[in-house]
Structures are given as C-alpha cells and as structure tokens.
Amino acid sequence: MSETIEIESTNESFKNATWPPTEDQIMDIVSSALNQSQDKDVKVLVYWDNPKLMILDPIHFAQTDYVRKKYTHNERSVEVNVGRQD
C-alpha cells in the first residue's frame, strides 16, 4: 500500500524547481525517504510539478519522463523515481 507524505527540506532546494532535478534535490528526497520509512529497501516517487509530495512504495506511475536513481546507505537502499509531471 502506498503512503503519501510531505518532504521537509531544511533548505530552499525545491523553490523554483526546474527540470531535471539536481543531485542535491534528489539527495534531499533520499534523506527524507530514509527518515520517513523504517524499511530496509525504500522505493519513492516524486512528481516534479509538486516536488514536496513524496509517495512511498508507489504502485502506479504516470506516463511522463523520469529520472531514476538508486542509492545505498549502510545496509539500506533507496530507489528514487522523479517524474516530470503527474
């Protein structure tokens, strides 16, 4: 089941967000996903037309362009999917 939460960024990285997202913006998403989930492997979806809304364990993906990356930290992993628009 998907869970939708709002990203709490400590910086202004999501103001005036332009496509594609920068590495710093993606790392903010990774950090938020790891903080919000206790799962070992986290999958997250963010649509760039609403970049502060994060969907954990997404089921459906819109037909749009995506930036997809995977990161590991200690024994946890985060799969990030950033869609251009919902």
For 1-41, write each residue's pLDDT tens digit. 667 677 665 556 676 779 999 999 999 999 999 999 999 99
Average pLDDT, rounded, for the chain: 89
DSSP per-residue codes, 16-55: T--SSPPHHHHHHHHHHHHHH---SEEEEEEETTSTTEEE
pTM for the predicted model, two decimal places: 0.86
What range does the domain containing 59 cover? 3-83
Contact 37, 85 (CB under 8 A): no
Dist. CA 53–CA 11, nearest whole Å: 16
Number of domains in the chain: 1
Band the pLDDT of 52: cuts 50, 70, 90: confident
Residue 83 vs residues 10, 26, 39, 45, 73: alpha-carbon distances, Å: 22, 12, 23, 7, 23
Share of the chain above pLDDT 90, in %: 76
**pLDDT band at residue 45, thresholds of 50, 70 and 90?**
very high
